[in-house]
Amino acid sequence: MTAMTKKPESPVAHLTTEDIEQLGRELDAIRQEVLDSRGARDAAYIRKVIKVQRSLELGSRAVLLASLFPPAWILGTAGLSAAKILDNMEIGHNILHGQWDWMRDPKIHSTTWEWDSASTAEGWKHSHNELHHTYTNIVGKDNDLGWGIMRVDEDQPWTPSAMLQPLMNFLNMCIFEYGIAMYDLELGATLKKRKLGIAPSARFKRELTNTLAKIRKQATKDYLIHPLLSGPSFLTTLAANLTANFVRNVWSHSVIMCGHFPEGVETFELSAIPEKETRGEWYLRQMLGSANISGSKLMHIMSGNLSHQIEHHIFPDLPSNRYAEIAPKVRALFEKYGLNYHSAPLPQQVASAWHKVLRLSLPNGWLEATDRHNLVPQLKRLYTMVTGDRRTRRQLQKELDVFLEGAAAARTQPA
């Protein structure tokens, strides 16, 4: 995806400054409606989800005490996976957003909550709430865009190492909770700085200590205490816990990729964001930079209502159970202002996101220019680009660019 402002046709060109501010006011009105009606029903909802999660976890762990018995293993592992997903998605993510702070219940509060994950609540709140939600989809500023390990935009120069990114993304998916912990620590940036002789900050050292302590506790629980409690089922329980953590990693990685990564979701240039972005402009960026997943009620809950990523990004602090309710109103505003409400079923969004990872791992235009008939010459060209020097690479890229322009021109010309 090319940053929105660099596109020949901006998707917001038809909106005036006044339109954008009016859009902001209309969204504020939706938000206010929810705030005014927030009450006992919502409180009962989150308490119920927490109760279901804890009961499911207790029950599954109890069943796993006999995990040597295959049906028990399957049932326990499935239950534990679901419980771990609920803990991270519908409960942890949303409580840490402060969505339930209004209840003034010290047990369900963003400042006291901790979750079943390798990353500490404190570190995650900084990187997620503060950086990602404020600088959503601004290339280079929002690390969620490729988690700092991927090429996420055509404008980022292509290097042969980018070809590893589908593999990197796959590995990140498998160990996602540790990936998030490293990313919350800004481990990559800190290591780079260290090479340049810049000492890590006090904040980093503190966060590192906390994260390592958390990882140790988490691992002790899943890979030592519960297997030991299972006695003869030690190994099978260990495998069950590994599997449950893996299932959650794959699931949360997939859901999160769908939020901002599918084809067609806009990215932004830092230089094009006004110094004082108005509330309307900020809303607009959230609207264009997010994508929803359509599906059943169960899917919405298991995704932590991140399936309503658009609504969540516009109103990150509204209770998650309300996103589904306001979605039709938000969608109507998209239509009214001529904007694209990006929503598709889960398999489609996951495929689209992976397609983008693959496409950007290759030189700009290569995937588009390749079909069955020219596969061999195209592979040769790619090989030359990977092995050649920068000049060769530039030269071949120019040829691909010409192809891309031709294809674009053909699309706009009437048949």
Give contact residues for another protein (rule: CB under 8 A).
Answer: 28, 32, 35, 38-44, 51, 54-55, 58, 97-98, 101-116, 121, 125-126, 129-130, 133-134, 214, 217-218, 220-221, 225-226, 229, 279, 282, 316-317
CA neighbours within 13 Å on the CB side: how many for 311?
28
In the complex, least distance from residue 395 CB atom to another protein, rounded to whole angstroms: 44
In the complex, least distance from residue 392 CB atom to another protein, rounded to whole angstroms: 45
In the complex, least distance from residue 314 CB atom to another protein, rounded to whole angstroms: 10
In the complex, least distance from residue 31 CB atom to another protein, rounded to whole angstroms: 8
Q: Which is nearer to another protein, 43 or 68 (CB)?
A: 43
Q: Which is nearer to another protein, 61 or 381 (CB)?
A: 61
Burial bucket for residue 40 (CB in 10 Å: 0-12, 13-18, 19+): exposed
From 273, 268, 315, select the one nearest 288 (Cα to Cα): 268
Q: Which is nearer to another protein, 11 or 98 (CB)?
A: 98
Q: Which is nearer to another protein, 108 or 360 (CB)?
A: 108
Q: Which is nearer to another protein, 87 or 153 (CB)?
A: 87
What are the C-alpha distances in Å from 397 to residues 2, 162, 187, 359? 16, 15, 33, 14
In the complex, least distance from residue 324 CB atom to another protein, rounded to whole angstroms: 18
Burial bucket for residue 257 (CB in 10 Å: 0-12, 13-18, 19+): buried
In the complex, least distance from residue 61 CB atom to another protein, rounded to whole angstroms: 8
d(CA 312, CA 32) in angstroms, rounded, equals: 15
d(CA 160, CA 384) in angstroms, rounded, equals: 11
Q: Which is nearer to another protein, 91 or 150 (CB)?
A: 91
In the complex, least distance from residue 220 CB atom to another protein, rounded to whole angstroms: 6
| CA-angle at 143, arms to 137 and 146, nearest 5° | 80
d(CA 211, CA 103) in angstroms, rounded, equals: 29
d(CA 10, CA 23) in angstroms, rounded, equals: 18
CB neighbour list of residue 311: distance below 8 Å, 6 or more residues apart? 292, 318, 323, 326, 327, 330
Q: Which is nearer to another protein, 101 or 263 (CB)?
A: 101
d(CA 242, CA 219) in angstroms, rounded, equals: 10
Question: What is the token pair recorded at 312?
Answer: 């969540």
Q: Which is nearer to another protein, 29 or 407 (CB)?
A: 29
DSSP code of 152? -
Q: With contact defined as beta carbons under 8 Å apart, do 77 and 240 qualify?
A: yes
Q: Which is nearer to another protein, 8 or 106 (CB)?
A: 106
In the complex, least distance from residue 267 CB atom to another protein, rounded to whole angstroms: 19
In the complex, least distance from residue 83 CB atom to another protein, rounded to whole angstroms: 12
Question: What is the token pair recorded at 187?
Answer: 């481990």
d(CA 333, CA 281) in angstroms, rounded, equals: 15
In the complex, least distance from residue 405 CB atom to another protein, rounded to whole angstroms: 40
d(CA 260, CA 232) in angstroms, rounded, equals: 45
Q: Which is nearer to another protein, 183 or 366 (CB)?
A: 183
Q: With contact defined as beta carbons under 8 Å apart, do 213 and 198 qualify?
A: no
